[in-house]
Structure formats: C-alpha cells, structure tokens
A and B are shown apart, each in its own frame.
Chain A
C-alpha cells in the first residue's frame, strides 16, 4: 500500500536559519512526488513535481530533491512569510490516479 510519512511534524526556525523537511514514501512505481504549501484555511498551493531519483527543482528559497525512498524540501535563509504547512504527496502507476498525502510539516519562521 502506498504510504507517505513527513517529518518533523513541526519546525521552528529563526529568520535566515536554513533547514530541511523530509518526506519518506513507499509506492509501487512512482508516477510523481508532489510538494505543496498550505496556508491556514486555504487550498494547497503547488510547489514542485519530481518524477525520478536524482531530480532537483528550485523556486526562490526552496529546493526539492528526490531519492528512491525519500524527498527533501530544503529551505534556504527562510523569511517569516515562509511560515506555512508543507505537504508531500505521491502518486503511483498502480491504483490509477490515486494520490496519497502525508500529514504535513508545520513551519514557523520567527523574525
């Protein structure tokens, strides 16, 4: 069964203090791994899609990487506006378009 585990559950950083969020997954043939940002009371906002091990994508202060068992979301020199919940999801080739989400990491960045 496809599964996604995110860690830590919550992360508190000082502004400018770089860190990484982890997403461990098991899936029968990875069709795609997705990262989202979610603000309270809003729908998730798309950040990245990764397709194969070794792939990396960047957007402003965020960089996502992928191995065969996990993905990392690296946050470089975060700002208070980066505070949000970051969600990871996987979709496998079996099970059609079924997509499974992790519980998320709540990031707090203090000025």
Chain B
C-alpha cells in the first residue's frame, strides 16, 4: 500500500556479504512483518514485531536479523549465514482498533546472490 516503502527494489549480494533491506511506514501501525516469497510459492514469515523494541522469530528466521528502534522502521538484514537468500522479500504492517486488522504490504524487494 502507499504508506509502506521498501527499498531498494532490486539488490544484488555477493557471497559472504551482509545486506539490509529497508521498510518504512507512515500508517502509524504497531505491528510490522517480514515475509520471504520464492518463485511460485506462498509467503513465509521471517520476523514480526508488535511494538517498538520487541520482535519475534517467524518460521524461517535463521540467517536473518531485524531491529525495531522506531515505530516507523523495521529493517531486515540478510546475513552471510543465510545460504540461499535469493528471493522476493515483502514487508507488511497491521494496525489496531479503528483501522481494523487489515495487513498492508509494500511493493517488495528482490534480492539476488551473484
């Protein structure tokens, strides 16, 4: 959705290199998520955060790290420990109360290992 900005759109990583994907939101949502999507596959949860300075591992957290120092920002670092990082990465947010439970997605970032 327009309130979630992911950057860069395309990123190339060399073997043994750490890279960071940015996710910024102006929706004032508490919860933020990172998902990984492989070609022809569904979304798999990497990490999620319900509030600032708190986050939980999803189903495929190994080789990834996150931080949540600000409500607006939830960057994802793909470390050299992630052996097969080539994928499409999606950031999402979710509000509470009057905004309902709708989860909104950014436009995604493509990461390729070269």
Contacts and interface: CB of A to CB of B under 8 A. Distances in A.
Nearest to A6: B42
Interface in B93-108: 94, 100-108
B48 A97 contact: yes
A100 interface: yes
Given A42-B108, A46-B102, A87 B42 contact: yes
B103 A46 contact: yes
Contacts, number: 63
Given A44-B90, A49-B100, A98 B45 contact: yes
Given A41-B108, A87-B42, A98 B48 contact: yes
B74 interface: no
Given A44-B90, A98-B56, A31 B108 contact: no
A97 B31 contact: yes
Nearest to B59: A100
Interface stretch (A56-64, A73-81, A101-109): A101-109
Contacts of B107: 42-43
Size range of the interface on B? 20 to 34
A107 B114 CA distance: 32
Q: Is the interface of A mostly helix, strand, loop or mixed?
A: strand
A103 B110 CA distance: 19
A43, A96, A102, A103 pick with most chain B CB within 10 angstroms: A43
A89 interface: yes
A43 B1 CA distance: 8
Interface residues of A, number: 26
B50 interface: yes
Contacts of A89: 43, 103
A67 interface: no
B104 A46 contact: yes
Contacts of A102: 42
Given A42-B107, A44-B90, A97-B50, A87 B101 contact: no
Given A96-B48, A98-B58, 14 more contacts: A6-B42, A34-B102, A41-B110, A43-B90, A43-B106, A43-B107, A44-B43, A46-B105, A51-B101, A87-B42, A97-B33, A97-B48, A99-B33, A102-B42
